[in-house]
């Protein structure tokens, strides 16, 4: 089994002991949609996965059934069988624009403020707590973003960068919060990351954040992470305002 990064490890931490099936579905579903679990990847066996998440096998089976119904997991029987990740298709551009119209500029700005606060805090703590040799996964994501060809892949890598940054902060709460944020905004980022020039700009910003974290420059890392988020939020707001049929703001 491949060695898990901090972000991937957070996926398999125990859920709240009072959790219902929906909590497990959300945890695994968010990880799949964000790309923390790769398309076609086999999940641990039911007993092992239930143990990792701290839930009963009955709860886990119900959660897996719900994930299958959502098209996020497929199950194969027989030798070599098990539950496998099925990466969902990103909605088409028009559907994404229709989804964006559902946000007011005030709501997008509020989301951006929250996102910037989480990413900024994560970058600052990562610079204080993480050793340079532990930043390999975080350091790879800017190059993956630079080479990603389609907007869907770019948005997943973009989101994974911020989740890995939270994991580097060694904070399970920040990591979970970042995963939740990315599943909320990630698909919308396809609308701005289709621009090759902006993709390159974001990759460069991510490299700068990684460099500041590696050097232990916590305030620079925080400011750069916040600036990166602010730029993406501003682009989403500008696109939202420009969309035909957008309600008054």
Note the pLDDT tens digit of each residue in 16-65: 655 578 888 888 887 887 777 888 899 999 999 999 888 889 999 999 99
The size of the chain, in residues, is 249
83, 42 Cβ separation under 8 angstroms:
yes
pLDDT at 4 > cutoff 60: no
pLDDT at 1 > cutoff 50: no
pLDDT at 5 > cutoff 80: no
More confidently predicted of 75 and 222: 222
Torsion sign, CA atoms 154, 155, 160, 166: positive
pLDDT at 200: 95
pLDDT digits (tens, 9 = 90+) for 134-187: 898 899 999 999 999 888 889 989 999 999 999 999 998 999 899 888 888 888
Structural domains of the chain sorted by starting position, each given as residue range(s) with its CATH number in brackets = 6-85 (1.10.10.10), 93-242 (1.20.120.530)
Query: What is the mean predicted confidence (pLDDT) over 217-228?
Result: 98
| CA gyration radius, the chain | 18
Distances 187 to 1, 42, 83, 227 between C-alpha atoms, Å: 29, 24, 25, 20
pLDDT at 19: 57
Res. 249 pLDDT band, cuts 50 70 90: very low
pLDDT at 229 > cutoff 80: yes
pLDDT digits (tens, 9 = 90+) for 81-116: 889 998 776 667 887 888 898 899 999 999 999 999
**111-145 b/e (C-beta count within 10 Å ≥ 16 → b):** bbeebbebbbbbbbbbbeebeeebbebbbbbbebb
pLDDT at 26: 81
pLDDT digits (tens, 9 = 90+) for 64-78: 999 998 888 998 887
pLDDT at 246 > cutoff 60: no
pLDDT at 6 > cutoff 70: no
pLDDT at 133: 83
């Amino acid at each position: 089994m491949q060695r898990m990064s901090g972000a991937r490890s957070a996926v398999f931490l125990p859920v709240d002991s009072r959790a219902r099936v929906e909590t497990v579905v959300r945890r695994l579903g968010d990880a799949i949609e964000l790309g923390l679990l790769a398309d076609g990847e086999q999940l641990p066996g039911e007993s092992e996965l239930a143990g990792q998440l701290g839930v009963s096998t009955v709860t886990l089976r119900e959660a897996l059934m719900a994930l299958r119904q959502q098209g996020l997991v497929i199950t194969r029987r027989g030798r070599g069988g098990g539950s496998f990740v099925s990466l969902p298709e990103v909605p088409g551009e028009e559907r994404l624009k229709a989804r964006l119209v559902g946000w007011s500029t005030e709501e997008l700005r509020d989301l951006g403020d929250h996102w910037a606060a989480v990413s900024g805090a994560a970058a600052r703590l990562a610079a204080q707590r993480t050793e340079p040799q532990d930043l390999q996964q975080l350091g790879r994501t800017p190059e993956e973003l630079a080479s990603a060809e389609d907007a869907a892949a770019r948005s997943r890598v973009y989101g994974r960068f911020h989740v890995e940054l939270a994991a580097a902060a060694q904070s399970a709460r920040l990591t979970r919060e970042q995963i939740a944020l990315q599943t909320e905004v990630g698909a919308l980022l396809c609308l701005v990351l289709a621009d090759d020039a902006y993709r390159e700009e974001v990759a460069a910003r991510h490299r700068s954040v990684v460099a500041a974290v590696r050097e232990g420059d916590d305030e620079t890392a925080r400011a750069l992470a916040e600036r990166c988020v602010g730029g993406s939020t501003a682009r989403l707001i500008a696109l939202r305002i420009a969309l035909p049929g957008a309600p008054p703001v």
